Amino acid sequence: MKEQKKKGNRVLTILFAVISILWIYPIFIILFNSLKDTNSITTSDVFNLPGKGNFAGTANYVESVTGMNFLKSFWYSLVISVMSVLLILLCCSMAAWFIVRVNNWFTKLFYYLCIFSMVVPFQMVMFTLANTADRLKLNSPYSICVIYLGFGAGLAVFMFTGFCKSVPMDIEEAAMIDGCSPIGTYFRVLLPILKPTIISTAILEVMWVWNDYLLPTLVLDIKKYRTIPMAIQYFRGSYGTVDMGAMMASIMIDIIPIIILYLVCQKHIIEGVVAGAVKG
């Protein structure tokens, strides 16, 4: 039995290694092409390694930063991601705590509505959403976070609720006996306990908001505000030509921060998901 189990583990290891290589392969293709000139990318040379005849060095990265106000787009993506994720974490953790501790028909209805929002396709509401956002003046990088709160609340409330169920009520009662208000109990007692779920939820939400293209395109004025995915889409030269080398470099600049963030905090993702989905 042990030998069969070891063989099964080896087969699974090889299988998942092959799947991982297939997932990582497109990233390496983008990386290699970001170091080539545009002519090489648009020909059959696209899958080859950069060589003496097509190596562009850092020229594509310089062009991606200086062209199309890329740094400005980076700033907009950063502002939208940070503000949206902070708002989601704060509001949804408070909502989950309220759902668990009050536990009446209203909180149960609110919880199931949040869960239901996870299965509603964005395409069903995008046109109505764009019209509503325009009327409520939510069409700027500094107000679009309210919209992201609505779409990100489902997953966040689900994870925070599962974890809050495992938090003993005795800890909160002790804090209140010591004179802590409900707000003080939340920030001084509950928030530190929620750290694993906060980190895992933050990473998942950042990956979604940072790479989102459709929602900013529908809501924001593309002539004034462009996030990185939007800037990459409009990375064109005269007569509709596309600088593929600079575009590939822009894609690499876009994904590198998320990859670093994920690698640094990946253990917290597993801990937070398990804590939020299993406990309680």
* Separation of alpha carbons 111 and 50, rounded Å: 52
Would you say residue 133 has pLDDT above 50?
yes
Instruction: Provide the pLDDT confidence category of residue 157 given band limits of 50, 70 and 90.
Output: very high
Q: What is the pLDDT of residues 21-62, one digit of tens each?
A: 888 888 888 888 888 877 777 666 667 777 776 777 777 888
What's residue 8's pLDDT? 74
Would you say residue 92 has pLDDT above 90?
yes
Would you say residue 237 has pLDDT above 80?
no
Q: What is the pLDDT of residues 188-204, one digit of tens each?
A: 888 888 888 888 888 88
Instruction: Provide the pLDDT confidence category of residue 106 given band limits of 50, 70 and 90.
Output: very high
* DSSP summary character for residue 122: G
For the stretch 21-54, what's the b/e string if a residue is b when 16 or more beta carbons lie within 10 angstroms of its beta carbon? Answer: eeeeeeeeebbbbbbbbbebbeeebeeeebeeeb
Would you say residue 227 has pLDDT above 70?
yes
Maximum separation of any 2 CA atoms in the chain, in Å: 74
Q: What is the pLDDT of residues 4-27, one digit of tens each?
A: 777 777 888 888 889 988 888 888
Would you say residue 119 has pLDDT above 90?
no
State the CATH architecture for 67-278. Answer: Orthogonal Bundle (1.10)
Mean pLDDT of 83-107: 92
